[in-house]
Amino acid sequence: MSELKFAAKEKFDVVVCGSGPAGLGAAMSASRLGARVILLESANLPGGTICAVPWMPVNRLMIKGKKRSYAHDKLVSHMLALGEAASVPGSEDFINGDGISPHPEYAELAIYNMLEEAQVSYKLYSPVVDVIKDGDNVAAVVTREKRGFVAYFAGITVDATGDGDVAAAAGCEYMEGHEESGVHMPLTLGFSVGGVEKDKLFAWMSVNREAFNKILDDAHEKGYYVAAWCGFTQGSVPGVVGVNHGAWRNQSLKSNGLDSADLTAARRNGIHLAMDFVRILRENKVPGAEDCFLDRAGNVMGVRDTRRIIGEYVQTFEDSQEDRAFPDTVARRYGNIDANQIYIGSMVNGYSYPYRSLVPKGVEGLLLAGRCHSATFMGHTAGKAMGNMMELGVASGAAAALCAQGGVQPKDLDIGLLRSTLVEKLEVVL
């Protein structure tokens, strides 16, 4: 890669790759600590599913309604600052809680405003295609823009791509799918439905869930494209509701979010599912949705698990059940276990997350954030809510800034310094 002709070369203290919740947390925290940061995003919009799926529940942004960290608070406050049209309070149930459901475009503007206020540079349309290494050290990431290859050199790079693209390019070892069965959580395409009398629909759903499931089962038997489960979310626009779901019932759980063919098929089938969902509501005259229509589909696919990079510690399902304590705890995870279509269960709320699971083995100059963190399949699903992934990003961003400023590698960072910085300067509740 060093032999390539580069359209540009740039230098930062910290480069964060991926602008989903984990990337936002990392970029905001590193900048807060005085690092010069750039946030790179491969897609045409920031925020991952926050800005890609209509009224997607963004859970665990708070802890029992209170501030969770500096970065979480900034995201929430910038969304709320845009008014009632920007978001609605998130639902509270076994899976969801302490969150908001945002209008995608309002969320996008809120993120731009937040990053600019924090003096974080950012670029969309910048997919990472490779890295430049100096021995075992990741010296730079390489993106492919329309103008050509661009190299971003950094003291420390944070991989918040979700798919672990940077770590994989750097040669890190990783795991994929469930260790025994090889299955993945399904690929989904969220969407929204308009023309809805929302009060009527939600009142009917509150007492007729079994009847609604029977309608879906019957439609599946007739050959309609039907999801494994469907849930309505309140929208901030009159007459519009979001639809979160568990993917087409016939989708193979071997479908892989790293495979373009699988992603293409899931997108095509997701569009068909959204259109059939409207037909089902109308044909069955579901109260409040008798005259509904398809409002819009998400801009990107919802991918729940791909690569999980092997780090200095691998977080496990047992950690979430036994509330294991770690001397290097840098985050805590809240909520429940949601391995879509595979396993739903409880965990210890606020169980510890160790810094070592953000440090990849065998590679220097790199930290992990978000769903590519070091964990077993079930360890990842235990509290995989967006607010939890954002807190992993906060920890990685803080560590990246401290390493870049102190000239140390992530594995050599003073854990006491990191923990005190998280609490005292980033307002993390440890």
pLDDT at position 427 over 80? yes
Q: Give residue 4's pLDDT band: very low, low, confident or very high (50, 70, 90).
A: confident
pLDDT at position 212 over 60? yes
pLDDT at position 54 over 70? yes
User: Per-residue pLDDT averaged across 320-339, rounded?
Assistant: 96
The pLDDT value given to residue 78: 98
Residue 355: DSSP 8-state: G
Residue recorded with tokens 């032999």: 3
Q: Give residue 430's pLDDT band: very low, low, confident or very high (50, 70, 90).
A: very high
pLDDT at position 1 over 70? no
Residue 382: DSSP 8-state: B
pLDDT at position 154 over 80? yes
Q: Say what the pTM is.
A: 0.97
Residues 319 and 1: their CA atoms lie apart, in Å, by 40
pLDDT at position 84 over 90? yes
User: Per-residue pLDDT averaged across 340-358, rounded?
Assistant: 96
pLDDT in tens, 302-317: 999 999 999 999 999 9
pLDDT in tens, 166-188: 999 999 999 999 999 999 999 99
pLDDT in tens, 30-43: 999 999 999 999 99
pLDDT at position 25 over 70? yes
pLDDT at position 94 over 70? yes
Boundaries of every domain in the chain:
6-181+305-425, 191-297
User: Per-residue pLDDT averaged across 157-163, rounded?
Assistant: 98
Phi/psi for 153 (5° steps) reads: -85, 145
Average pLDDT over the chain reads 97
Q: Give residue 277's pLDDT band: very low, low, confident or very high (50, 70, 90).
A: very high
The pLDDT value given to residue 208: 98
* Greatest alpha-carbon span in the chain: 65
pLDDT at position 204 over 60? yes
pLDDT at position 2 over 70? no
Give the helix/strand (H/E) hosting 140.
strand 137-145
The pLDDT value given to residue 375: 98
Q: What is the share, in percent, of the chain residues with pLDDT greater than 90?
A: 98
List 297's β-bridge partners, or say none.
191
Are 240 and 295 within 8 A, CB to CB? yes
What is the dihedral sign for C-alpha 77, 354, 311, 409? positive
Fold of 6-181+305-425: FAD/NAD(P)-binding domain (3.50.50)
pLDDT at position 112 over 90? yes
Nearest of 288, 302, 277, 281 to residue 56 by alpha carbon? 302
